[in-house]
Amino acid sequence: MSVVSLNTRRCISRWLRRASWLFGVMRFAFRAVQPRFTAGVVGVVLDGQGNVLLVEHVFHPRTPWGLPGGWLERGEAPSQALQRELYEETGMRVLVDRPLLIESGYYYRSHLDIAFLCRAKGDISSLSSELLDYRWASLDDLPDMLPFHRAAVLAAASQREIEV
């Protein structure tokens, strides 16, 4: 049962219809008190043989090898952010297939990590200053990685996208 009566809700609705600008004020006030999240995306990029693209990150000192990706920019869709990040980091174009895994951040509770299954549409043409190296690895050749990166690769394997 609603705490606000039906008559009160109808009254609010009538006021919002008469003065639609009030909705904008209400939305602004609502957003001001809501929690904020950041989001990052990584790609499980597969080549034609089922190998996974791994990159050596400059800014991951404890576990430098992992999946390529980065942070979403304001207003950016996750799949577009991943395509942008992969192109900026490697010069490679990818086809983003589907989400594999979404988890709350490992280091920050107000962060979401999103992993996508991707297909390489070209070759790596350059590495950004955020990366030291890259390699294509099979499941039995995975180095130590961040837990989310490993879980994303294993999620792709469990969906039979990668040969075990």
Taking only the tens place, the pLDDT of each residue in 23-71 is 677 777 766 776 678 899 999 999 888 899 999 999 888 899 999 999 9
pLDDT band for 1, please (50, 70, 90 cuts): very low
| Domain positions in the chain | 1-34, 38-158
Kindly report the pTM of this predicted structure.
Answer: 0.78
Q: What is the 3-state secondary structure (H, E, C) of the chain?
A: CCCCCHHHHHHHHHHHHHCCHHHHHHHHHHHHHCCCCEEEEEEEEECCCCCEEEEEECCCCCCCEECCEEECCCCCCHHHHHHHHHHHHHCCCEEEEEEEEEEECCCCCCEEEEEEEEEECCCCCCCCCCEEEEEEECHHHCCCCCHHHHHHHHHHHHCCCCCC
pLDDT higher than threshold 60 for residue 163: no
For the domain made up of 38-158, give the CATH fold: Nucleoside Triphosphate Pyrophosphohydrolase (3.90.79)
